[in-house]
Amino acid sequence: MENIIQNNQFNIGHICTKRQCELGNSDKVAMRCVTPDFRFIDYSFKDLETQSNKLANVLRALGFSKEDVVFTLLPKIPEQFFILLGALKLQLIISPLFANFGEEAILDRMGDACAKVLITKESFLKKIDKIKTKLSCLKYIIVVDSELHLSSDILSYNILMQGAECVFETPTTGKDVPSILHYTSGSTGKPKGVLHVHGAITTINQTTREILGLKENDKYWCTADQGWVTGTSYGMAGPWSCAVTQIHFSGQYSPEA
């Protein structure tokens, strides 16, 4: 663990970005995004560091602080990962929702967690409009694909990110600081929140290396959505803590593809 944990810093966002840059991986491809029409867009570990720093600064400027709860309702697009990493750097609790969830599933989870901010796409706003009055803790909705602020509390991700600083100093984060909130499926009753901690990165890193057997020069594709625990543990934290290049495909499944 000596190569990823330094000075008692267990922050998952830091380890997947700045720590990798410190280890000499700044220019290495961290994420190869494959678009629905099969174009490749590459992001380096330095890109992850810069974009997650900007996102952390955006959320701090909006008044969010340690252990406030942020939800995402997004497909597997680059912004999903910038948001996850940036929120973790700010020591927020981040909960990614499966993008195909309906209004009731979203309300169950966001209402239970007292979510203060939701980051989503403009096409999903119709779902949120139907339940927004029941989400008493919700302060802001941030829309990743709008070039304009839509109201005083529905804000443009692009505008916010354009004005954000690229540097963010991640506070030292102990093992037991909360990190990611995943909910059970709800198949046997109301979905139940399972709160993970930053210290889990040590086991996730170890199992990525010893069970999945990933090496630094491998390219790895985890097909799981970030709405499920596999999609964050082994579609984000594990491979990036091992400096592995990840493939993410933003299109829909088809046998031909």
Write out pLDDT tens, residues 36-75. Answer: 889 999 999 999 999 999 999 999 999 999 999 999 999 9
Write out pLDDT tens, residues 117-145. Answer: 999 999 999 999 999 999 999 999 999 99
Domains belonging to the chain, first-starting first, are 12-249 (3.40.50.12780)
Distance CA 228, CA 26 (A): 28
Mean pLDDT confidence for 14-27: 97
Task: Say if residue 1's pLDDT is above 50.
Answer: no
Write out pLDDT tens, residues 68-92. Answer: 999 999 999 999 999 999 999 999 9
The residue with tokens 């037991």 is 176
Burial of 180-195, coded b for 16+ CB within 10 Å and e otherwise, reads bbbbeeeeeeebebee
Least confident stretch, 13-22, 125-134, 184-193 = 184-193
Predicted model pTM: 0.95
- Residue 207: its H or E element: helix 201-210
Distance CA 71, CA 79 (A): 13
pLDDT the model gives residue 2: 52
Return the SS3 of 140.
strand
Name the residue among 194, 192, 195 with its Cα closest to residue 177: 195
